[in-house]
Every structure is written in C-alpha cells, then in structure tokens.
C-alpha cells in the first residue's frame, strides 16, 4: 500500500467512528448538530493528558472520549427537553460554545493550535474502528436497538408501550458523544496537530450527511456514507488533469479542481436525496446485499463441488 492509500484508510476509519457518534442519536430520532464540539473535547482532552500525564495514548483516547460522553450526559438532561429543530439548534449552539471555549484556553494553545506528541497509524486506528462497529452492531441487535427504532418511529407510542424513552434517548446521545470524542481523539493522534477552528459547524454537517446519505436504519449505513464521503472527492481530485488529456488548453475556471469536486459532490447529494431519501443502506438493502453475498458464495461453492464430482 502506498502512504496515500494508507492515509485514506486511516481517514475512512476515523470517519466511521465519528459517523457512529451521529448515528446513535439519529437512530433515537434526535439530530446532534454539535458533533464537532464533542470531537474537539475528545481530541483536546486526550492530547492534553497524553502530553502531560505520561499515560499511553491508547488509554488517553478513552479518557478523551469519556470527557465527551460526560459533557453529553450533563447537558442531555436539560437539552433533550427540546425536540426536532429546537434540539438541532441547541446541540449546534453547544458545539459552537465548546469550540469557542477552547479557543480561549491558553493552556492548549488557543487559536495557534496544539501539538500532539504521540502518533497513531493505521495499525492502531483500524482495530479501534472495527471494535466500534462491533459494539454498535451488537447494541443494534439487543432490546436497546429495538427500543431506539421504536422511539424514532413514534416516540409517544413507544412510551405508551412501556419504553423508557427519555432514559434511552439520553443513553443514545451520551454514547454517540463518546464515539464522537473517540473519533476526535484518533484525529488528534493521527494528525498530531489540532486547532479549534477545525472543529466547526461544517464538520458537524458533513458528519450528519455521512449518516443520512448512508442510511439511518442500518448499522452499515454510516460505514457506506463515510466511505462515499472519503473516497468520492478523491476520485474527482485529479479532474483537471483528466480533462487536460482531452483538451489542449484547460480553461482557467476548469482548473479549480478541488472546488469542482465539491460542487459535483454537492449536486450528487441533492440528486441522491431526491431519488432515495431513506439513504443507501436500508434493512431491505442490507438483506439484499447479504443474499447477494450468500449467492456468490454458493455459486463459488457449487462450482468447486461440481468440479470435484466426476
């Protein structure tokens, strides 16, 4: 693997962890627009403890994630009183406050940014991502996951049937913030340099888009969404070079390759949401994919076994 490919896989792994941070509240019918704030808290807490307390970073990332989860737990009680757009705006305000607060802390470099000493590579980050996927996939199969689905479909009805909606929503919100903080900590130890302005509202929006594009009703949704968001802009990256193979002179406006890839990407989001608003991976799509894989395996097995027969 070239270092470019390894780098892409690391970014994908981090994006998947963060995407689950947004997925869990969405699965409980809540939209958290403050994901970037929880990421920032996880990143800075982990980096500070690792830099100063001498703990190994594999421990500090969970301390960072724990801080993010703790903040979520503290604010969940008042903030989850609000609903729908109000909740989205309240979480958005929370994210802005966290980033703005870090911007004023000289201890972690304020606006100049903060250097992180310990570095993580793919070998450390990928297992953490796989563990995250496993935890969420397991939770999804338990009564907890079933209850979250019930809440997202009809909160009042779920409550009438004895689902403890409020407690579960707080749990989903807190757990989501934990994963967001974990992803933020991984981000800090991969890039080794963090700035408060990196954790802005646009980042939160992109993470929400990961989940909604991938699909909110399947554990595979965030993975698919994160993969699309990680790889698709890369495919468009060398657009101008490809165009210049066809045309002798590349016009000036075509040269803005990075802007073009985001414009095309945005147009794809819009068209996609028109055609398939439920996201790419639904339960049906997951089953279909599983059937297809099983069919392929059977075909392979059949071909092999028939070949073995006389």
Partner 1 sequence: MKSEPMLLAQQFVNGLMLGSIYALVAVAFTLTIGVLNFLNFSIPGIFMLGGMFTWIFLKSGLPLGLVVLLALVIGAAASLLVERSSYRQMMGSDHFIPLVSSMGFLILYENLVLIFWGSDIQVVNSPFRDVSVTVFGLIISIPQLAGLALAVTMAYVLTRILYGTSTGRGLRAIAENPDSAIMLGVHVFRIVPVVFLFSGLFTALAGVIFALNYTQVHPFMGEEVALKGISAMVIGGMGSVWGAIVGGLLIGVAEILSISSFGSDFVDIAVYGLLLVILVIRPEGLFGGSALGRERL
Given the rule CB under 8 A, which of 79-87, 178-186, 283-291, 302-310 is the region that contacts partner 1?
A: 79-87
Q: Which residues contact 115 (CB under 8 A, 6 or more apart)?
A: 51, 109, 192, 193
Binding to partner 1, residues 103-162 (CB under 8 A): 103-104
Q: How far is the CB of 43 from partner 1 (least distance, A)?
A: 19
Binding to partner 1, residues 21-60 (CB under 8 A): 26, 31
Is residue 79 a contact point for partner 1 (CB under 8 A)? yes
Binding to partner 1, residues 188-207 (CB under 8 A): 201-202, 205
Residue nearer to partner 1 on the CB measure, 83 or 291: 83
Q: Which of 131, 160, 263, 297 binds partner 1 (CB under 8 A)?
A: 263
Given the rule CB under 8 A, which of 119-127, 137-145, 181-189, 212-220 is the region that contacts partner 1?
A: 212-220
Burial 263-278 (b: 16+ CB within 10 A, else e): eebeeeeeeeeeeeeb
Q: Other CB atoms closer than 10 Å to residue 218's CB: what's the count?
A: 24
Q: Which of 143, 167, 256, 290 binds partner 1 (CB under 8 A)?
A: 256
Q: Which of 101, 117, 137, 157 binds partner 1 (CB under 8 A)?
A: 101
| 238 φ, ψ (degrees, to nearest 5) | -100, 30
Q: How far is the CB of 288 from partner 1 (least distance, A)?
A: 21
Q: Which residues contact 285 (CB under 8 A, 6 or more apart)?
A: 215, 218
CA dihedral 85, 88, 94, 97 (to 10 degrees): -80
Given the rule CB under 8 A, which of 93-101, 237-245, 288-296, 299-307 is the region that contacts partner 1?
A: 93-101
Given the rule CB under 8 A, which of 17-25, 62-70, 76-84, 162-170 is the region that contacts partner 1?
A: 76-84
Q: Which of 8, 70, 73, 89 binds partner 1 (CB under 8 A)?
A: 89
Residue nearer to partner 1 on the CB measure, 75 or 122: 75
Give the interface with partner 1 as residue ranges (CB under 8 A): 26, 31, 78-79, 81-82, 84-86, 88-90, 92-94, 96-97, 100-101, 103-104, 201-202, 205, 208-209, 212-213, 216, 253, 256, 259-260, 262-263, 265-267, 269-270, 273-274, 277-278
């Amino acid at each position: 693997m070239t270092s470019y490919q390894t780098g892409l896989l690391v970014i994908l792994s981090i994006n998947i962890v963060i995407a689950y941070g947004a997925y869990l509240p969405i699965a409980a019918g809540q939209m958290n627009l403050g994901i970037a704030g929880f990421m920032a808290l996880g990143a800075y807490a982990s980096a500070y403890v690792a830099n100063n307390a001498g703990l190994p970073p594999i421990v500090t990332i969970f301390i960072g994630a724990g801080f993010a989860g703790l903040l979520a737990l503290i604010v969940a009680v008042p903030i989850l009183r609000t609903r729908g757009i109000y909740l989205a705006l309240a979480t958005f305000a929370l994210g802005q406050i966290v980033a703005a607060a870090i911007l004023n802390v000289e201890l972690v470099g304020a606006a100049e940014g903060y250097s992180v000493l310990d570095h993580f590579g793919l070998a450390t980050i990928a297992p953490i991502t796989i563990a995250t996927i496993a935890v969420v996939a397991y939770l999804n199969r338990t009564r907890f996951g079933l209850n979250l689905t019930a809440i997202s479909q009809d909160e009042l009805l779920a409550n009438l049937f004895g689902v403890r909606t409020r407690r579960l929503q707080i749990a989903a919100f807190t757990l989501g913030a934990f994963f967001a903080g974990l992803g933020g900590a991984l981000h800090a130890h991969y890039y080794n340099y963090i700035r408060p302005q990196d954790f802005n509202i646009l980042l939160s929006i992109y993470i929400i888009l990961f989940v909604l594009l991938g699909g909110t009703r399947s554990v595979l949704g965030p993975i698919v969404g994160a993969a699309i968001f990680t790889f698709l802009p890369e495919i468009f990256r060398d657009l101008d070079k490809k165009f210049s193979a066809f045309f002798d002179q590349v016009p000036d406006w075509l040269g803005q390759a990075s802007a073009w890839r985001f414009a095309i990407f945005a147009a794809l989001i819009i068209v996609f949401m028109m055609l398939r608003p439920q996201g790419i991976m639904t339960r049906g799509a997951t089953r279909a994919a599983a059937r297809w894989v099983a069919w392929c395996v059977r075909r392979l097995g059949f071909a092999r076994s028939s070949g073995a027969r006389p």
